[in-house]
Structure 1
């Protein structure tokens, strides 16, 4: 008996067999159908591109675990104590110290030395995010806000994916008690993505706010970073609406390409705000934060290169 198989692993057809009279196309379609995998529709992957700009996925890092925290403020860097999401104030330490400040109630960071980036810790532990402050200021009523980016490294297996989602849920659950856990199907999607996660959120007077969002970002080893997409512009979200923490002065936290050296916001009252985007944990995008100005709307958000060239103009943020 001939034991050979076709290129797809099936035995050759018998011209005198039971399917000899069936049309060739029908038999080929039947063969293809046998190889189809049936499973749930991957809604997150289908919708991710369309909703990345204003996503509100409620996820963040473990509140009970002491994490090494890298802090970037404007063009400077400090190392801060963990605790974001626990409802407790956040202290700051001098640059490079890596330990909590003496007073846990302190919310104003210590003076910082100029630096443009924070680097990822050795090993890139998927259960230990690197966090950075990419902007800060005060609300009209005098409360201090800080805009944070937490980079959760890509996971290598299902166990890491499940553990990472659980860590994220534990922190987020403390500010939203009714938040459901993500299921194992979502953990599988997390594994397949192969990307880092950037969690964008705010703290107000050192306490984590309810509003946050998540964005997929390429890991540092993904290759040469892409230039700014001139048709798309900043990718981020306005935060501070949920829970009413910032009222009418929400904060735009967004990423831009690595070729962007400055971001300038022109307001309807004739004033301009300029900020410098920074790199967090070796991530490909650069990050910045700008609060909406009380009593004014943003006419334009413009991105400029290091040579002063205009790279992109947006007119749909903070209007």
Structure 2
């Protein structure tokens, strides 16, 4: 699975291209990377990360938050104007913002979220707890059961993830790097009604880093 990268002003597309080098981190120009894709009921689903680099000052952080919220409101006008009221946490030094969203047949959907993540040099952690706290992007076209694209962040040592569904099905996912962020991301399509699944994370040498239960 190769990540797809697009510039801040371009709409994400399904074509995969190499990740370009970025000479500078611009807090007002996000890097967009496709984390995974799949098909549900004949519709193409894609999970995307827009990584907004850490703003150098609180004022820049507020301006960045407003830009993110404006973008989100273009898709879902029901969201409030205020970034914090829309779930964007206040500015923190050396902390990037990851805007996570879903497209269906190339169109961005409501139901996104924004997570603070460590900037370069920071320490990335797996989603905390014994139960993986992945976030569901659930504005999906199939109303019968409403499958979700679940997105999970992991530390950079994780090279491969194996999900063993309670039903017995097994799938693999490859975490994707987003620019120079120390956080990697993977996404899977959740099976409606699934739960109590097992997720095993592997290092590059094949050793097991962690075994967890997943709510999804």
TM-score (norm: length of structure 1): 0.58
Are 1:209 and 1:245, in contact at CA under 8 Å, matched by a contact in 2?
no
Deviations 1:174-206 (A, max 9, x none): 1221322227999xx733443111111111111
Q: How big is the alpha-carbon RMSD for the aligned residues of Structure 1 and Structure 2?
A: 3.0
Change (3 A) 1:120 1:285: farther
1:156 to 31, 34, 56: 56
Matches within 5 A, 1:70-81: 74=1, 76-80=2-6
Return the offset for 1:310: 2.1
Structure 2: 5+ residue stretches without partners: none
Q: Which has the higher strand share?
A: 2
> Are 1:120 and 1:130, in contact at CA under 8 Å, matched by a contact in 2?
no
Query: Are 2:187 and 1:289 equivalent residues in the alignment?
Result: yes
SS of 1:164 mapped into structure 2: helix
Distance apart, 1:157 and its partner CA? 2.0
The answer to whether the aligner puts 1:213 opposite 2:113 as a matched pair is yes
Counterpart check, 1:309 vs 2:207: yes
Computing the radius of gyration over CA atoms, which structure comes out larger, 1 or 2? Answer: 1
Structure whose residues are more often helix by fraction:
1
Do 2:43 and 2:141's aligned partners in 1 also have CA atoms closer than 8 Å? Answer: no
Instruction: Note if 1:256 corresponds to 2:157.
Output: no
Contact persistence 1:233–1:256 (CA under 8 A): no
* Structure-2-length-normalised TM-score: 0.83
Kindly indicate whether the alpha-carbon contact (under 8 Å) linking 2:56 and 2:93 is maintained by their aligned counterparts in 1.
no
1:188-267 residue pairs with structure 2 within 5 A?
A: 190-222=90-122, 225=123, 232=130, 234-240=132-138, 243-245=139-141, 247=143, 248-267=146-165
Specify the SS of the correspondent of 2:91: helix
**Among residues 168, 172, 182, which one is paired with 2:72 in the alignment?**
172
**Structure 1 gap segments, 5+ residues each:** 1-73, 85-89, 93-107
Aligned-pair CA distance for 1:228: 5.0
Report how far residue 304 of structure 1 moved.
1.5
CA contact (8 A) 1:230 1:311 kept: no
Q: Please report how far the alpha carbon of residue 83 of structure 1 lies from its aligned counterpart in structure 2 after TM superposition.
A: 6.0
Shift of 1:120: 6.6
- Alignment correspondent of 2:15: 109
